[in-house]
Structure 1
Amino acid sequence: MKENNESVKSILSALNELIYETDNVITDCQIREDYLRMKGNPSFIFPSPREISYRYNTGSKLTELNKKIVKMHQMLRTFVGPITEQSRSDHSSNGPTRWSSDIIDESKILGLYKDKRKIKEWIPSHSKSLHRVGIVGMGGLGKTTIVQKIYNDVQVKMSFEKKVWVSISQTYDEIDIMKRILRQLRADDSGTDKGDLLNRIHEALSHKSYLVVMDDEDVVKRMGARKLRIRRPGLLDDEESWLLFCKFAFITTRGKCNAQLEKVGKEIVRKCHGIPLAIKTTGNHEIEAEQLVRWWVGEGLAYGDDTETATNVAYNYLSELVSRCLVKAIQRRNFDGKVYSCKMYDMVRDMKILVTEDEKFCSFKRGRPIATSNSRHLGVNKDTAFQPLARNSKLRVLFLTTTKSIGFNRKIALAEIKTLRVLDLSCVKLDNICLHNLWLWITSLKRLAYLNLRDVANLEEIPNSMRNLWGIQILVLRECKELKRLPTSITTLPRLAILDVRAKEAWDKLKEEFEGNNRVKSVKVLALKREFELLKMKASNSVKEYSSKLIDIVNQIRTLGENFLDQKVVEKIVVSLLDYSFNS
């Protein structure tokens, strides 16, 4: 519908604008309400002239918005039918339908059926002889995927009493490998003598049928597999490549490609030359998951409630993107799969550029973001020109990409922007910048919810004008080695939920100046809770030592008057032990 009807495209564009406009008014009201509540301001009962003026202006905006919403409702009904009925059907289920499991399983073996069937024929169900089967080929052909399918095949499971899967890295340790095998065989893995460990493996497998998978191609060359028992998976043909791409890129539509994106998608597939892994996992710049989810929270894309924090909700969103193969997880926690770092696939990035430009979300030139009067997001690089931002009243997110300089002064168009919600200046260099002017601009951003000043050199203090940032929720000052002082006004910020400070001197100074202040205590509790969440068990730690560290943090939290359940400590220890077990 959107591709074939310009009127509908125009209406959807107007709807986007209306949503953003409404969100801005609501956010302004929420920020002001939180601020007045924190101050205990009696203006709700006896409003000042300034408060009366604010209420009148806000009322006028809401009245105008209501008129626009009614008009939009009427226009949408013309094209998509009664909205109330559509909404009712959309929410009839308990939650969003997930297609990831079945589709991903099928797509992983797309084009590999013949390979799987042939290798299964080479694995005899009843034989006393040792059989060696090898799968070789260039990276990304699906060798590991084939073996995973065979390893979990029902007939294969019934044919063997014992199964062992060993993934071997380039720099492996023989003792570690033998210990992992013994753990999978549920045998004693203590000790470091290779002879003893090998004997235990032999005893565990003696007089049994077993399947051992060594996920490393170099093993094939050394184990003596006959040429007739070595399989080389082939490349996908054009049709198979396109099907694989669609199943991963358009999972919510069950593999059906949007006509507008088909040309771009097929060009991406052509460049992958039939290599399955290239189609699925070609990626871009790696980013910390924590930084990404905080951007989302700051922009208001993730909201918390009484049962879950906004950060946890954002992590759930990220997991959803990973499960749909729209984002690649680079590092993750083994126990529950929590993502630590990730990157976007090239094909997703190409489609994102196409869609975001069409939606007037941001603009690109030769693949690089550029500033325009309609930009809502802007990634700054060394060639970024800020002048096109003149008269921009929509910009919500600004961050540095391939540069550490922002070239800020009060005469550039950026200094006139007042609508930012996310400002990431991590690692920025303050050379040749008037800090006074920079802080004047930053502290004028009333809707700013996320401010990242991580690893900013020569940043010695944060000004007291921080008190103007009523909407700030996340403030990152980690790795600011020169930071000596936090402002007194930080204790008055009504919405501050995360203060990420690793400079001990700054914390000590804050504690010294404001010992007993409730807001300082609240911020300190936040920092301690973060320390509790990030504390991991190391190889050098015994369970007792690790537990003691956790309990010490919890005691500090409780000393500050915050309730902390013992159940959380137990859960943390169990999760850490399981995570450590998986990693080892």
Structure 2
Amino acid sequence: MAFVDAMISSLTEQLFKAINTQTRLPLYFLRQLEVMKASLQNIHVLLGDDDKSNKEIILITLAHFRDLMYEADDVLTDYLTGEEYEENGSFCNLSLTDFFFRHQTSKKLREINKRIKKVEVILGNHLQAQDRSSSHEHVDMNQLRFKYDTSDEIIGRESELRKIKAWILRQGYEFQKIGIVGMGGLGKTTIAKLVFNDPDTRGHFDRQIWVSVSQTFEVEEILSTILQQLGETLGKDISDKWAMIVKISQCLQKLSCLIILDDIWEMGLDWWTSFLSILSERACKRCCIIITTRSKYVVSFLGVDESLVHFPPVLSEDESWFLFCKHAFRRVGENSPEIFKQMGREIVAQCGGIPLSISTIGGLLGSKIYSLHEWKNICNKFFVHNITEENSALMNSLQLSYKALPPHLKQCLLCFSIYPEGFDIEAEKLICWWIGEGLIQDTESKSASELGYEYLSKLIDRCLVEVVESRGYDGRVHKCKMHSLLRDLTIKMAQEERICSFDNEYKQEFTADTRWLGFTSEMDSISLNRCPKLRAVLLMTTGYQGPLDRNLGSLHSLRSLDLSNNNLDNVALKNLLSWISSLRRLAYLNLSGAKGLKELPNSIRKLRNLELLVLSGCQMLSKLSPSITSLKSLMVLNLGSCDKLPYLPRGLGMLSHLRELYGLRLVSQANRRSCPLLEVGALGELRVLHMHLSRGSEIKQKEWDVLSKLRKLKVLTIDFDAERLEGIKMQMMLDPLEPPQRLEELYLRHYYHDTLPKWVSPEYLCNLLYLCIEDGRLFDIRVDEGICWNLEGLRLKQLPYLREDWNRLQNQMPLLRYAEVIDCSQILNFPGGVENKRVIWRRNWDDNDKEGKSSAAI
């Protein structure tokens, strides 16, 4: 149901946009859009916020409704795309713009609206009769979680207990907040219980209070629980919430107290903030609050200092085995037969060190200890990750995290279901897919790409996704992956939502209802014909050489196609692009790293709905059709590292929706086919620009202020062809430029001049947060006396002539908190030295360390 909820929101937003922006739409067409919008809003209200899909009739109706929304999305996309191209004078000879097409489209919308109305009636009859306030399912799940999390196991937790005790017991009493953050089943509550019951801790405080919070909680119940544990009886004088809070604060002013708030979620955070603020303001100086949660956002919102947040690690191999034995062999001890131990070790290896997983499967096997046949059956089911009664307790615990997500994040999380187990996912590709699928759309203040990284960070903060590789300066994720247990959950939910289908080994199957497909080399591309409703095909195998072309032709609903890093030759790619050009609804195409791609043909113009085109790293690409400038919907055009491509075609300035442009090669303006810098000034929505300059590059006087016109530009990269461009010409081209005022990140690569361009200074770049200079002959980073940078991050790489005093740089960069120095051997006074090293420096903003700390790695 969550997926349906998010789809309603997305489609309603598209309808709203169409109704308000498409002034040329006929009146009868607008009426149908208004009818559809009203019906979707009514259904959204009927569904509410809770899961009510427990009746067969509702499940069937919602499945039908999902198909209707996809159908409506197709019709709307076809019509709006055709209207846009007619308005711009393109493709005027196509049937999309004639009366027959409009009539047929309006007829389709009327039919869809009738069917949506039937869905509205059916759901209204069944949902309105249900009690929306029922929460018995949450209670059952909380009991399951408590059953395992509150076990008295201390295996692998001794060092964690010592760490948190040290925070609590240090230097007398002071009001402090401590966080314990981790995914479901990792043992947060267990650690909190160990602290709560520890003799040293108990001796340190006058009172100890334990409050189980969970997702749904009543404020009065929480407050009465605290009062009761403080030894206060509830009377008429303390019956309302404010009176209770006052009484609690009065008690805590007289006592030293440890309060554990177990399992706080994002619901009700404002109230918790107010409550903790009152305790702090009322001089409850001798209180320590420990908060356990699944979300880093929660502890940050509640004001917990980062240095007092503990992230429980997974158990080691030995710890995992010891915990498993306590449950699985509790009846027979060490005398269990070797065959059982061997199977047990295989099971433990699959649990990933998660205590809840180990305890759950160990407890199940322990109840079957006298039957080898039963063990084998359970082990076989476990290895294929079959979610049945045997491990439902674990999955229910993980489902708590899933159900707490807002609908848009649930959609994004379910995308992980198609990636193979243990697969390292490139964040940029993942986010491009989200945008192409329509899961993310621009807002007034943020681009879809920026929102995508924000969504991914939220999933990581909730411990649902793991970071594999990230940028040191701000933690921006480059690669991520999903724990196998959480992948199992996403697969289960994706199947329930009828997005994908999987066999018993959780390998994806080709079915008529499949919407997303992770294509591997083991799959037969002919089988794509069995999936006519596919909206996303993502290649999971690097170096794929098999046939694909004509099998894509039947995928008329395809929105996202990622065939990056394939090994198809030029002929195969020509045929492939011919078929791709027939996919009129395609919004995201990625052929990056395609080794055989030499030319992007004229037929690319047919992809009128294309929003993201990624061709980076295509080393053989040397010809780009000028028709690319007719792709009016493009938001991302990535042609970075296409070294044989001489220039981008003139006319890019017409792509008014462009947010990111990579691979702009400036050449002599005598070449009338190339895109000059002047055209870029028309791209008012541009946030990211990557430029390449070489010996033949030309920037005329009338173009000097172009960059300053890009009011929304945040990231600027300038790459130089160092072998062909002398340092003096670099400076002559760059010095006259007027930089964008809102620039936040600047990258200069292969800059072979001894001083920076004059505008690379705090005077002109007052909003700059990150500066990266790589591979050059730079002598110094000059700044006028008395002026300071606002930089927070700095990267200096392969600058052998740079003679800077680190102490002076620090003084000129008072806000600097992260620096990376690689092969800059002449920098003076850098902590730890820089000779032949990669040194990372971080500043700690605490009272005891004003100068910062550094760590070095060869």
Q: TM-score, normalised by structure 1?
A: 0.61
Separation in 1 of the partners of 2:474 and 2:390?
38
Match of 1:290 among 424, 428, 434: 428
Give the Å deviation of 1:530.
Answer: 5.4
Give the Å deviation of 1:455.
Answer: 0.8
Give the equivalent residue in structure 2 for 1:570. Answer: 768
Match of 1:70 among 117, 133, 138: 117
> Is contact 1:371–1:388 with CA below 8 Å preserved after alignment?
yes
Q: Provide closer, same or farther for how the CA distance between residues 301 and 555 of structure 1 changes in structure 2, counting only shifts above 3 A.
A: farther
**Secondary structure of 1:529's aligned partner:** strand
Q: Provide closer, same or farther for how the CA distance between residues 456 and 486 of structure 1 changes in structure 2, counting only shifts above 3 A.
A: same
> Is contact 2:647–2:675 with CA below 8 Å preserved after alignment?
no
Give the equivalent residue in structure 2 for 1:471. Answer: 609
Separation in 1 of the partners of 2:555 and 2:320?
58
Match of 1:7 among 49, 57, 61: 57
1:387 aligns with 2:521: no
Q: Provide closer, same or farther for how the CA distance between residues 38 and 121 of structure 1 changes in structure 2, counting only shifts above 3 A.
A: closer
Give the equivalent residue in structure 2 for 1:315. Answer: 453
Q: Deviations for 1:294-349, whole angstroms, at most 9, x for unmatched residues?
A: 11001111011222111112222212211222111223345544322210110111
User: Which one-letter code corresponds to 1:426 in the other structure?
Assistant: S
Q: Deviations for 1:3-61, whole angstroms, at most 9, x for unmatched residues?
A: 75322211121121122112222222332333334448999xxx999432221111111
Greater shift after overlay, 4-13 or 480-489?
A: 4-13
> Is contact 1:461–1:484 with CA below 8 Å preserved after alignment?
yes
Higher relative contact order (CA 8 A, sep 6+): 1
Q: Deviations for 1:394-446, whole angstroms, at most 9, x for unmatched residues?
A: 111011113532533655x4332222111111111114953332111111111
User: Which one-letter code corresponds to 2:69 in the other structure?
Assistant: I
Give the Å deviation of 1:75.
Answer: 0.8
Q: Provide closer, same or farther for how the CA distance between residues 80 and 515 of structure 1 changes in structure 2, counting only shifts above 3 A.
A: same
> Is contact 1:241–1:269 with CA below 8 Å preserved after alignment?
no
Separation in 2 of the partners of 1:310 and 1:527?
11
Q: Unaligned stretches of 5+ in structure 2? A: 1-50, 134-144, 173-185, 206-306, 314-318, 329-353, 361-386, 398-419, 650-665, 692-713, 719-729, 745-763, 771-789, 794-815, 820-840, 844-853
1:31 aligns with 2:81: yes
Give the Å deviation of 1:447.
Answer: 1.1
Give the Å deviation of 1:107.
Answer: 7.6
Give the equivalent residue in structure 1 for 2:715. Answer: 533
**Secondary structure of 1:574's aligned partner:** coil
> Is contact 2:501–2:511 with CA below 8 Å preserved after alignment?
yes
Give the Å deviation of 1:76.
Answer: 0.8
Separation in 2 of the partners of 1:355 and 1:233?
30
The structure whose residues are more often strand, as a share, is 2
Separation in 2 of the partners of 1:416 and 1:391?
9
1:373 aligns with 2:533: no
The structure whose residues are more often helix, as a share, is 1
Give the equivalent residue in structure 1 for 2:498. Answer: 360
**Secondary structure of 1:416's aligned partner:** coil
Give the equivalent residue in structure 2 for 1:582. Answer: 842
Q: TM-score, normalised by structure 2?
A: 0.43
Separation in 2 of the partners of 1:338 and 1:108?
35
Give aligned-pair identity as a percent.
29
Separation in 1 of the partners of 2:88 and 2:129?
43
User: Which one-letter code corresponds to 2:61 in the other structure?
Assistant: I
After TM superposition, list the pairs within 5 Å mapping 1:84-483 onto structure 2. 115=158, 235=323, 241-242=355-356, 263-266=390-393, 284-333=422-471, 336-365=474-503, 366-390=505-529, 392-402=531-541, 404-405=543-544, 407-408=546-547, 413-431=551-569, 434-483=572-621
Q: Deviations for 1:464-493, whole angstroms, at most 9, x for unmatched residues?
A: 111111111111111111111221011111
Q: Provide closer, same or farther for how the CA distance between residues 423 and 63 of structure 1 changes in structure 2, counting only shifts above 3 A.
A: same
User: Which one-letter code corresponds to 2:123 in the other structure?
Assistant: L
**Secondary structure of 2:603's aligned partner:** helix
Number of residues paired by the alignment? 441
Separation in 2 of the partners of 1:262 and 1:488?
59
Separation in 1 of the partners of 2:682 and 2:511?
40
What RMSD in Å do the two structures reach over aligned CA positions? 5.3
Q: Provide closer, same or farther for how the CA distance between residues 528 and 351 of structure 1 changes in structure 2, counting only shifts above 3 A.
A: closer
Separation in 2 of the partners of 1:107 and 1:568?
50
Q: Deviations for 1:202-259, whole angstroms, at most 9, x for unmatched residues?
A: xxxxxxxxx9xxx9x9xxxxxxxxxxxxx9998487799449999xxxxxxxxxxxxx
Separation in 1 of the partners of 2:152 and 2:842?
30
Separation in 1 of the partners of 2:561 and 2:429?
12
> Is contact 1:28–1:447 with CA below 8 Å preserved after alignment?
yes
User: Which one-letter code corresponds to 1:582 in the other structure?
Assistant: R
Separation in 1 of the partners of 2:587 and 2:456?
20
**Secondary structure of 2:479's aligned partner:** strand
> Is contact 2:81–2:608 with CA below 8 Å preserved after alignment?
yes
Match of 1:51 among 85, 98, 112: 98
Give the equivalent residue in structure 2 for 1:514. Answer: 674
Separation in 1 of the partners of 2:428 and 2:735?
22
Q: Provide closer, same or farther for how the CA distance between residues 409 and 554 of structure 1 changes in structure 2, counting only shifts above 3 A.
A: farther
**Secondary structure of 1:457's aligned partner:** coil
Q: Provide closer, same or farther for how the CA distance between residues 578 and 54 of structure 1 changes in structure 2, counting only shifts above 3 A.
A: farther
**Secondary structure of 1:382's aligned partner:** coil
Separation in 2 of the partners of 1:472 and 1:483?
20
> Is contact 1:472–1:495 with CA below 8 Å preserved after alignment?
yes
